[in-house]
Structure 1
């Protein structure tokens, strides 16, 4: 029996279909994807014609009618899900991602609304057991704050344990997981990964081993080392854990993972506009002082090399030779700047939908459906494809 025969999967919250694509890449056979948003199901049907798409709010989905499958995959939303065709959703995803990216530990403590979808995974697991078709693995990802700040996280984990599944947790940055044909994502995206595995099945190996360079040993696969007093492995690279060389001869020196630059994703043939010409539109609207300041800082820092100006609090500019910051579900925060002989003669544009998708490691052939705003939401809420592939490759031996 091949893995494709054995490893069937169901994907709840299948927005941009990052996890669905990743698990298919890893040899799984997806059976169904569900989401409340029409553009999400349209995206699923455009890219996976053999997979059943269900357009329904996950809160009201009858879990007893899900097909039998070995794995249930679902990453609880980081913002409140709205019914199909309904009201706009709050921007909690953006708040959480930006807070963690900027090392802000003041995360929301009240997760009763934004984590409502987490209980749907537990509900689906219980329904599968009640119908005599239990899942062997229930898995997904979320921001580290999901495990660090949600007051009911331990209760949620205990619920799976009481249903006969053993919890396994890991933390990783999408920029460090070189899985799939194209390797790691050119994006720093800190995530907590969770897998609940049926008792009696093998434990998955969820230890990230990124490619790194040891100054003494040369190229190595780094080993994750956590700070003192951290019992549960949930956190952010650089604050909660680091990577060290696996070899004793160098004394396990700290190593920096090798990353992919965002410059690999940039299409320099796309049109730009002069800063001095202001924002697009019939009436002249100059760029605000803060935007101009960030462009000026980038010019001073990078000279005549193109760079990214970051339209976020506590962020200014970054090189194209490093991964970009987290791609979020709402808004556009990354401006490509091509320096000129003056600030007004710099040419700029916001990064495109396709470039955002590339930063999430989607192939150019993946077709997102909907308006540009809806596509941005699908991409920003998606599981980075390389993270999903890495995760699927480590869950496959369990089955």
Structure 2
């Protein structure tokens, strides 16, 4: 099965497709760093760095499956959706590139990934009607990546678009959850004392609350509304585009390494990342969990 990947980012969707046995033929993104690292990890695919509103779809190879992860920032509650915010309006508009590409190529199947709030977008219904006008039945699936093999609770929406009379509802598996402890290396990383000078009072309070509930080893969130710790026996919470999760071990703590973030996202250990930690975390936090993509694509292939 030949696959193209719109808004490919760090390559989570492409990696999941490759794990499912597909050939990733073409990938695109507007961010040069994302294109560089996608191309390093998927060297056999053709790559383009471009605003996909301006894409010439005649230059894109014929394919069986189109993958697309339009920008989610304009939909996500985590980033806000202020009315009239031009940056968010521009972000949401990237979804129309999927319509444009589908109009030209008419692939049998399209998978669109985004946050569940995509379904609440004011223009979602016109967008869906445009896809239906092209002959696609539209079937939303909201899934937790932890149910599909990632050691992370990450709720995302996958739209399954097929050239069929009725929407295709996938019967996805619910796998045993992998714990955060499965990928954390307590012998590695740059640990610091919890009680070091200058440590924020809010951080110390989170540590105290976590210790009261979970003992000496647990996770804490460095920002957001999470005031207590998180057990290492459950999947980690959502990996974001900036450092979020810290590991507490007795009287020491540290942030997750980029390698641990890679594992939390379910990328294989061989997946290359930049040396720059901040860039690596940004790329990973924007990505699709490969194991979730693999499960969905395999189910589609079984039904083909």
TM-score normalised per structure 2: 0.92
Q: Does 1:290 align with 2:202?
A: yes
Distance across 1 between alignment mates of 2:233 and 2:82: 33
Once the two structures are TM-superposed, the CA of residue 366 in structure 1 deviates from its matched residue by: 0.2
Distance across 1 between alignment mates of 2:169 and 2:82: 31
Once the two structures are TM-superposed, the CA of residue 303 in structure 1 deviates from its matched residue by: 2.1
Per the alignment, residue 193 of structure 2 pairs with: 274
Once the two structures are TM-superposed, the CA of residue 398 in structure 1 deviates from its matched residue by: 4.7
**Greater fraction helix:** 2
Q: 2:211 aligns with which of 258, 276, 299?
A: 299
Once the two structures are TM-superposed, the CA of residue 140 in structure 1 deviates from its matched residue by: 1.8
Change over 3 Å in CA distance of 1:107–1:60 after alignment to 2: closer
Once the two structures are TM-superposed, the CA of residue 203 in structure 1 deviates from its matched residue by: 6.0
Deviations 1:188-214 (A, max 9, x none): 1111110111136x9644233314xxx
Distance across 2 between alignment mates of 1:370 and 1:50: 23
Number of matched pairs:
299
Secondary structure, counterpart of 2:91 in structure 1:
coil
Distance across 1 between alignment mates of 2:28 and 2:279: 17
Matches within 5 A, 1:137-152: 137-147=109-119, 149-152=120-123
Once the two structures are TM-superposed, the CA of residue 112 in structure 1 deviates from its matched residue by: 3.1
Change over 3 Å in CA distance of 1:109–1:398 after alignment to 2: farther
Distance across 1 between alignment mates of 2:170 and 2:44: 30
Per the alignment, residue 374 of structure 1 pairs with: 279
Change over 3 Å in CA distance of 1:375–1:396 after alignment to 2: same
Once the two structures are TM-superposed, the CA of residue 290 in structure 1 deviates from its matched residue by: 0.4
Q: Check the 8 A contact 1:11/1:73 in 2, yes or no.
A: yes
Distance across 2 between alignment mates of 1:353 and 1:175: 19
Distance across 2 between alignment mates of 1:199 and 1:315: 43
Per the alignment, residue 324 of structure 1 pairs with: 236
Per the alignment, residue 163 of structure 1 pairs with: 134
Instruction: Could you tell me which runs of 5 or more consecutive residues in structure 1 were left unpaired when the two chains were aligned.
Output: 1-6, 80-91, 100-105, 129-133, 178-183, 212-257, 279-285, 340-345
Q: Does 1:35 align with 2:29?
A: yes
Q: 2:289 aligns with which of 384, 388, 393?
A: 384
Q: Does 1:117 align with 2:36?
A: no
Deviations 1:83-119 (A, max 9, x none): xxxxxxxxx57x53x48xxxxxx96666633311111
Q: 1:347 aligns with which of 229, 232, 252?
A: 252
- Pairwise CA RMSD: 2.0
Distance across 2 between alignment mates of 1:9 and 1:109: 36
Q: Check the 8 A contact 1:42/1:369 in 2, yes or no.
A: no
Q: Does 1:210 align with 2:210?
A: no
Larger Rg: 1
Distance across 1 between alignment mates of 2:218 and 2:91: 34
Distance across 1 between alignment mates of 2:277 and 2:111: 29
Distance across 2 between alignment mates of 1:150 and 1:205: 22
Per the alignment, residue 337 of structure 1 pairs with: 248
Q: Check the 8 A contact 2:140/2:157 in 1, yes or no.
A: yes
Q: Does 1:197 align with 2:102?
A: no
Distance across 2 between alignment mates of 1:370 and 1:66: 31
Change over 3 Å in CA distance of 1:31–1:123 after alignment to 2: same
Once the two structures are TM-superposed, the CA of residue 171 in structure 1 deviates from its matched residue by: 1.1
Deviations 1:275-303 (A, max 9, x none): 2334xxxxxxx111101110111122122
Distance across 2 between alignment mates of 1:371 and 1:38: 15
TM-score normalised per structure 1: 0.71
Once the two structures are TM-superposed, the CA of residue 16 in structure 1 deviates from its matched residue by: 1.1
Deviations 1:24-50 (A, max 9, x none): 111211100111112212212211221
Q: Check the 8 A contact 1:143/1:191 in 2, yes or no.
A: yes
Distance across 2 between alignment mates of 1:112 and 1:156: 14
Deviations 1:48-76 (A, max 9, x none): 22111111222222122211111111011
Distance across 2 between alignment mates of 1:322 and 1:396: 31
